[in-house]
Amino acid sequence: MNKNGTHTRQSGIQTLRLFDADAMSEAVRSSKFEHVQLEAGDFRAELKRLELDRITIDSGCYTRKVLARGDFPTSRIVIGCLLDSREEGLINGYRFSRNDIIIYPKGSHLDYLQPAYTTWCAIQVSQQHLEDAGFPETGIDRVRILTGYQPIVQAMRYLMTDVGTIRKHHSKDQSNRTIPPCEEQLLELINHTLISSRVSETCIRRPSLHNRMALLRKFEQKLLERIDGTVRINELCTELHVTARTLEHLVKTEYGMTPKQFHTVLRLNAARQDLLKSRASNETVSEIARRNGIHHLGRFSANYTNHFGEYPSETLRRQLGREGNQG
């Protein structure tokens, strides 16, 4: 897990507290994600990880609304759920609530719009480990959603909050080839969930917003391609074959802001990423701002401070200080 924050371990669970959305690239083991902080304000995140012999469980909660995109491991099946949520999220084009679980085949792409103070949880296991435990090939070949009560959600919630019980049942004694009871039960639940998803029609009946999310991704990509230059929203609408009114409504509905405001947020996040990755002691805030198409430095400083809760110079100074300590 990324060490850009405070790290603790208690009864087998690693806990990492972070202060930058960009530091959460490894929020799920063996995965790589990009995060965009959509809401203004001081960002805090708490990530937890429990690693058993064959299974890994990750969970996280953030204080601000974020947009997360990336890919899961190519060798593992992932089952995700929300342990706590104030409102619905949007995952891979589907409205998603606490009553749902989502199943990702090996190497699946994640596209997640997460409201603030939502606690997500993801459990992952390789197909080989399932087969070694006596469970056959599942045949899961696409993202699927199940609704209603799911025993695996209760198990994930229990494991991530009552760790003392895990330590009593789980042992890493390599001389004992028997799967520990805790892990064996989890494997059974995972297999049951995968089988249920194959025979359930809920994932077919759930309306998809895939086309809307695809349009938002294209809009974001075009903004990022021109991050260092002038962007005219009307011209992008023509390229996307969509009216300005439609784009305005879509961005407002899903992101809670206008297309122009979203453009500003992307530039602020891009600038913050550059500040956090800076390695040169002579690099300045103004250079980084201009690299991201920002030329009004006074306005940039005000917008940046409002969005991230600190001056851009503070971010750069903190990063360079960390680099100096590591050197």
Burial 61-76 (b: 16+ CB within 10 A, else e): bbebbbbbbbebbeeb
In the chain, CATH 1.10.10.60 covers 210-326
What is the rounded CA–CA span in Å between residue 212 and residue 203? 18
User: What is the model's pLDDT at position 65?
Assistant: 94
User: What is the model's pLDDT at position 162?
Assistant: 56
Whether domain 210-326 has CATH 1.10.533.10: the reply is: no
User: What is the model's pLDDT at position 172?
Assistant: 47
User: What is the model's pLDDT at position 7?
Assistant: 61
In the chain, CATH 2.60.120.10 covers 5-205
268's tokens: 């602020």
291's tokens: 């690299």
The CA angle 290-295-300, to the nearest 5 degrees, is 95
Output the tens digit of pLDDT for each of the chain's 327 residues.
544 566 666 557 888 898 888 788 778 888 888 999 999 998 999 999 989 889 999 999 999 999 999 999 999 999 999 998 888 888 888 888 888 899 999 999 999 998 999 999 999 999 899 988 888 877 788 888 888 778 888 888 888 765 434 433 444 444 443 444 578 889 999 998 988 887 664 454 455 577 888 899 999 999 999 999 889 999 999 999 999 999 999 999 999 999 999 999 999 999 999 999 888 777 899 999 999 999 999 999 999 999 999 999 999 998 887 665 655
User: Looking at domain 5-205, which of 3.20.10.10, 2.60.40.10, 3.40.50.140, 2.60.120.10 is its CATH number?
Assistant: 2.60.120.10
Q: How many CB atoms lie within 10 A of CB 248?
A: 16
